[in-house]
Structure 1
């Protein structure tokens, strides 16, 4: 939405210098000598610095000087002291506008480079999940609150291992580059541990070890680990993360709550032991939705949270990608504005044998 507003405002900014100078010229012609409107022509090159480059600012400044000459000659004040001061004023504002345009253009190019790097980092850090992996269909959606960066502290991954399909969805405490770096550490450790370790406890221990080496403050990561084998069940470990929501084929909805509350990753010393692995049924055509708190904490204009569990009926579409598109669209309609926190959603649908 913000991008649309900027797009609509760009033509107006382009026309604004000419509109201002036209109004000044008309007033000067109507009012005549001594009215003092000519100095306002300097507004033209001043507004020109808001859009376009250095050449455009110079061209608008030259046009303002030509108008000043023509109007001064028309009103028989050309060469007078006030008219000379007006020339100097327009010239000075034009020079300042050219400098401002040069700085703005340079900053815009630097921002474009930063966005390109951020998008490349996102493709490496948050790789697209395979649409079909083992016995499931998978789909993912990520919405970043930092629209210009397009990347934040939420993380997800789906990998196929000899033990089955293993999944992580998590949320790094904090924001900015520090959160992105921590997310990269977690995902790197998970991608290795998911293949090497015999069970989810081993995977969790590797993640905790990696974070212990990396974290230097009170930062932590909430996360859910999952493992899906050939049986009609899925194993879960929850580290202080919102519980996944299970949508059964018959329409029943339940939260896959852990048996005990556990601290996030990076704070294992507070618990003294790893949280238990628990299992939930996951039969053919069942769906399991993992999400981050940016989804359930998204508020509408009245301050009401998004009622995710009440909206899962939109996931009934035959294609999981379409189902998650519908859920994302419903979330954005609820908010009605850019979201204020990163939000990730990962949908697993058990294929029918």
Structure 2
């Protein structure tokens, strides 16, 4: 499917299963009419070649090879009926129709066998991908250190299970530490980078007292991969257990949003273009990652997200206004807030996204 530079489809929506069923039923109806007309019409005229469509129609959506095979045998059995009904038609015409039925039956049966084999392979691949996702993106705890946490991951592709978006929530000697990031790369390389970043974070978050030092370790990990254009935007949170202050290290990522109990929403930290560089690019500007501190009080909700959320578009091509939509969502635990946000996002974008999206919500319990 072609897309414009903004990600909009240029070829229109695909046909629905209901439309396909309607077309198949119409084809069956035309086949029946053709055979009936052949039987009662001019004996010098035959429609016997249309019998070859029977196994092809039966093979559409079939999961077993015997379906088009049986349809072909029934169509082949109808050839003698049409020979008797049309004595004025050359026998060579009917024989040609019979061979056409046999050929299409073989092709349709082989196609069903191939499709069934590919479906089994796809199911096996999806099972492996689901196992990889569980190893890469572990389920986050619902409650941890006086906080409630929820995560939602939305894949742009229907069959996708893993991608370049990553997240983690850990209890460490220095409080709760949170990571949410987005690998700027594609395919298996992006998944490998995400795996490396998560592995480094899980180790460094437990031993580095400073959150900026954790970011430095992540930067070194991505830089060592040496893949040229690949880098990672990330937001790291430190939530100490002994107060209402929180820490943020923004590595070129979208600023988190903070929703107060009164419904007001504000960005935390500087805009993405003014933040520290993404992971793997720190050495280009020198220096160390900066830590920003902000008030995170009881009842506050902190939302981290990737650009798959803010770059979702409606039918008119307008980006999803997350900061304006978040205050409209009802109060509740992070799970409920994210459920409402995901429903609103998908409705705004017409039911699907053009890029993977991850959302992570943290609320300090009252």
Structure 1 and Structure 2 fold alike (TM over 0.5): yes
Q: Which residue of 1 aligns with 2:185?
A: 174
Instruction: Tell me if structure 2 keeps the 8 A contact 1:289–1:348.
Output: yes
Alignment partner of 1:40 is 2:50: yes
User: SS of 1:346's equivalent?
Assistant: strand
Aligned-residue CA RMSD (Å): 2.1
- CA distance in 2 between counterparts of 1:164 and 1:8 reads 53
User: SS of 1:105's equivalent?
Assistant: helix
Query: Cα distance, 1:13 vs. partner?
Result: 7.7
* Counterpart mapping for 1:188-207 below 5 A: 188-207=199-218
- CA distance in 2 between counterparts of 1:274 and 1:33 reads 91
Q: Which residue of 2 aligns with 1:289?
A: 303
Aligned residues: 349
* Counterpart mapping for 1:126-141 below 5 A: 126-141=137-152
For normalisation by structure 2, the TM-score amounts to 0.89
Q: Which residue of 2 aligns with 1:254?
A: 266
Alignment partner of 1:350 is 2:364: yes
Alignment partner of 1:29 is 2:39: yes
Query: Cα distance, 1:7 vs. partner?
Result: 5.4
Query: Cα distance, 1:317 vs. partner?
Result: 2.9
Instruction: Tell me if structure 1 keeps the 8 A contact 2:333–2:363.
Output: no
Alignment partner of 1:328 is 2:338: no
Q: Which residue of 2 aligns with 1:239?
A: 251
- CA distance in 2 between counterparts of 1:50 and 1:92 reads 16
Q: Which moved more, 1:310-319 or 1:321-330?
A: 310-319
- CA distance in 1 between counterparts of 2:23 and 2:78 reads 20
Q: Which residue of 1 aligns with 2:134?
A: 123
* Counterpart mapping for 1:6-17 below 5 A: 8=18
Instruction: Tell me if structure 2 keeps the 8 A contact 1:169–1:223.
Output: yes
For normalisation by structure 1, the TM-score amounts to 0.92
User: SS of 1:194's equivalent?
Assistant: helix
User: SS of 1:301's equivalent?
Assistant: coil
Q: Which moved more, 1:175-184 or 1:233-242?
A: 175-184
Q: Which moved more, 1:76-85 or 1:291-300?
A: 76-85
